[in-house]
Amino acid sequence: MLGSPTPDTRKTPAEISAGILLDIEAVHIRPEEPFIFTSGRLSPIYVDCRRIISFPRARSALMQMGVEQLKHHAGVETFDVVAGGETAGIPFAAWMADLLGLPMIYVRKKPKGFGRNARVEGDLPEGARVLLVEDLATDGGSKISFIDAIREAGGDVAHCFVVFHYGNFPESVISLADRGVTLHGLCTWWDILAIAESRGYTADQLGQVRDFLNDPDIWAKRRQAIEV
């Protein structure tokens, strides 16, 4: 009988994470029919981290690596509460809170509109150190809104964790840093590109992705010119 495969300890967490996202088909490369982000940006690429919830072994591996990364870069006793951003961040926050042995809350995009009219749901003690968890980060806009809501509710936020960080919008890191928050992510598009060629993507597709990562605005202008 064959035994369990021996993990390749030479791979970094970023390489393993990128491979998992490709394995579960969370990665989409479509330069010929660009995606449109919430911000209105055109993009040839999209990562659907919501697919992770349907793959128990994949999500377990990713969450374990996330906890180890946070322990290494932030500290074991850094947090009192884990917060998930509505809606994609909620399941990831729940799994991470369980692994860290911490209570969880979640943050609404907008006030509920009735009842307490609150944005933060759950028990948030005054001054509690909160880890904000989301599925991914592009330009960081939604993270700032969640951070502001937590702070207005009395929490202290200095760290945000995402499974995936696009890695080509420096404003996401800068805007969070300006608010005293460090962004942690398991992998970026650069990590996916490093192994995507072996997964059947063409040289043209990957070349377009590189162009986009190097300058998203120039890529979008060229794409719009083609469509005109």
Q: What is the pLDDT of residues 181-198, one digit of tens each?
A: 999 999 999 999 999 888
Q: What average pLDDT is seen over the chain?
A: 90
pLDDT of residue 197: 83
- Ramachandran angles phi, psi of 187, nearest 5°: -155, 165
**Which of 71, 58, 84 is CA-nearest to residue 157?**
84
Residue 127 has pLDDT above 90, yes or no: yes
DSSP letter assigned to residue 49: G
pLDDT value at residue 144: 93
Q: How far apart are CA 51 and CA 66, in angstroms?
A: 17
**What are the residue ranges of helices labelled H in 37-188?**
56-73, 89-100, 141-152, 170-178
Topology, domain 13-221: Rossmann fold (3.40.50)
Looking at residue 84, its pLDDT comes to 98
Asked whether the whole model's pTM tops 0.85, one would answer: yes
What is the distance between the alpha carbons of residues 147 and 141, in angstroms, rounded to a whole number? 10
Q: What's the rounded mean pLDDT across residues 17-31?
A: 95
Burial of 152 (0-12, 13-18, 19+ CB in 10 A): exposed
Rounded-to-integer distance, Cα 34 and Cα 37, Å: 10
